[in-house]
Amino acid sequence: MKTKIRARRKLAAEGGAAAPGSSLAVKELPTSAFVTLERVASLLLAGLDAVLRAQNLTAPQYNVLRILRGAGGAGLPCGAVAGRMITRDPDVTRLIDRLEAQRLVARARSVEDRRVVLLRIAAPGLEVLSALDAPVRSLHREQFARLGRARLRKLVELLEIVAAAPADDAATRP
């Protein structure tokens, strides 16, 4: 068995077929990068999901709470919260409904414009986030420990370049 694995790795190193499980198994480098990012994101999110489960939250709910904590006492309209989310959620209203049912967020009409409903994080929401801050930081340190600070900084820099792609890229294609 070890001989077969060594032979495959040698073949991959010489430009032949890629080693099993390798991101180089995909011939196009951009596709390989995409597949690798998706796989890594899935692994990282699985760790986050496990931490959030202790507070009965999903990753999108956690994201909303963090957005509202950052907004402070002024709160934000629902559309602004949706626009700041890490991943698009087609039903932010239902997501907010669940958080409101848990008493983690509160809705109120804007004094300036009664058509606008503002969302604010409630005291229990702040408590939940406070309880999650240390475990989430610890998880992220553990997840990226093998990179070291310099490589982690470079990774962030490269990902920000990819994220800054023009708005008319693949996201707008049919």
**pLDDT value for 167:** 60
Kindly report the length of the chain.
174
**pLDDT value for 95:** 93
Q: Which two tokens stand for residue 47?
A: 């760790």
| Tens of each residue's pLDDT in the chain, 174 residues | 455 455 445 544 544 445 455 555 557 999 999 999 999 999 999 999 999 999 999 999 999 999 999 999 889 998 899 999 988 888 888 999 999 999 999 998 878 888 888 999 999 999 999 999 999 999 999 999 999 999 999 999 999 999 897 765 555 544
**pLDDT value for 7:** 47
- Give the Cβ contact number of residue 85 at 10 Å: 15
The Cα 71–Cα 75 span in angstroms is 5
Tell me the whole-structure pTM to 2 decimals. Answer: 0.76
The Cα 108–Cα 119 span in angstroms is 7
Q: How far lies 89's CA from each of 49, 74, 84, 112, in Å?
A: 17, 23, 11, 28
Assign 3-state DSSP to the chain and report helix, strand, coil percentages, each to 5: 65, 5, 30
The Cα 164–Cα 167 span in angstroms is 8
**pLDDT value for 160:** 94
* Burial of 23 from C-beta contacts in 10 A (0-12 / 13-18 / 19+): middle
**pLDDT value for 71:** 94
**pLDDT value for 74:** 87
**pLDDT value for 90:** 82
- CATH number of the structural domain 55-131: 1.10.10.10
Between CA 102 and CA 111, with CA 106 as vertex, the angle to 5 degrees is 170
